[in-house]
Amino acid sequence: MRVFRFPLIVAAILALTVSPLAFARHRAAGSTPAHQFEGLITAAAATSITVHDSHGDDVTFTVSDKTSITKGNQPVPVANLQVGWRVHVAANQSDKTWTADRVIVQDENKQTEQVEVSGKVTAVGTSSLTVSTTNGDMTVNVDSNTVIREKGQVIQLSAVNVGDQVEAVGTSVDAHTILAQRINVEVPETEAGEVEVQGTVQTVGTSSLTVSTSNGTMTVNVDSNTVIRKQGTTIQLSDVKVGDKIEAVGTSIDPTTILAKTINVESPETETEDVEVEGTVKAVGTSSLTVTTSKGDETVNVDSKTVITKDDTKIQLSDINVGDKVQAEGTKVDATTMLAKKIEVGD
């Protein structure tokens, strides 16, 4: 009796043909994220990072202990991801939220590449400056780690004004954007026709100051365009006190009167108060420490003159760690802030 096995043979062939494809699809499903990103980290938190990608977009990714984060062949903890690092991110999106499956930290030389931007400020935002340079406009982003100085004093972004000359150093985000590590605001030279008044404030009026100078008494008028600063912070005329030392630059009205464009206020020497802060380091910044004392948290600012030692050996601010015991001596800035002359780190 002849038995026809053709249907069985066909079924077997189909099974051998289809099964590997089905298996491959099953294996591939979910194993590779649908989207790949590459760029610089512009913000890093405990559960997320923001990356300025190659398309010029800022994309925020959720990260967790399930996210594979590596540099070379070594795993990297989420907490170690830093602003300015160049990364490759593989992620999936759900409900408009990107979740990172893999983060690969790329070549360290690219991560630490620094650029400099020099020019005149044309706009001041809440977290960035627009600077006109010889090569066109550049955006200078700032974050909590950016240090801004004028005349050696640390100032806030809000104290930078349109027209100021700045030099910014940081990491490149794209061809027209950097994330600044430090910004130096240059004090403009006195322009032709401008005069400078230096001296001690005798009286404070509603729209003027009377200043005692080495050449006699001068009246310094102010208007809505006058910028008044004290310790790098913009203040009002009413904040100026009798006895304050000032430097005013402006246009001459007559031999004893000027209309000020800028006024820099320096507190008299008698107001300087030496203070001491002792406690445990709560946070370490690029130019300051937060120290928990018996009276609460204190900010200890440092500058190029601050001497930091541990076991009689001079160290850097970056060598101090959270949890270290410190004793700082310096001058009082406000009720919870001091500028340290010296800091001693204990065991």
pLDDT at res. 267: 61
Q: Is 303 helix (H, G, I), strand (E, B) or coil?
A: coil
Contact by Cβ (8 Å): 118, 185:
no
pLDDT at res. 166: 92
C-alpha dihedral over 244, 250, 252, 257, to 10 degrees? -20
d(CA 139, CA 56): 12
pLDDT-derived band at 72 (thresholds 50, 70, 90) equals confident
Q: For the chain, which residues make up each domain, given as ranges? A: 35-110, 113-186, 194-269, 272-345
Structural class in CATH, domain 35-110 = mainly beta
Contact by Cβ (8 Å): 116, 168:
yes
Q: What is the pTM of this model?
A: 0.35
H helix or E strand, kind and range, residue 48:
strand 48-53
Q: Is 143 helix (H, G, I), strand (E, B) or coil?
A: coil
CATH of domain 194-269: 2.40.50.140
d(CA 299, CA 13): 76
Please, what sign has the CA dihedral across residues 215, 217, 221, 226?
A: positive
What's the token pair of residue 96? Answer: 């408009």
pLDDT of 3 over the 50 cut: no
Report the CATH superfamily, name and number, of domain 272-345.
Answer: Copper binding periplasmic protein CusF (2.40.50.320)
Looking at CATH, the fold of the domain delimited by 113-186 is given as OB fold (Dihydrolipoamide Acetyltransferase, E2P) (2.40.50)
Across-strand partners of 250? 195, 260
d(CA 206, CA 65): 60
Contact by Cβ (8 Å): 91, 51:
no
Task: Give the model confidence (pLDDT) of 271-311 as tens digits.
Answer: 456 889 999 999 998 889 999 999 899 999 998 888 999 88
d(CA 72, CA 244): 57
Contact by Cβ (8 Å): 42, 58:
yes
Contact by Cβ (8 Å): 200, 217:
no
Highest mean pLDDT (candidates 8-12, 25-29, 216-220, 230-234): 216-220
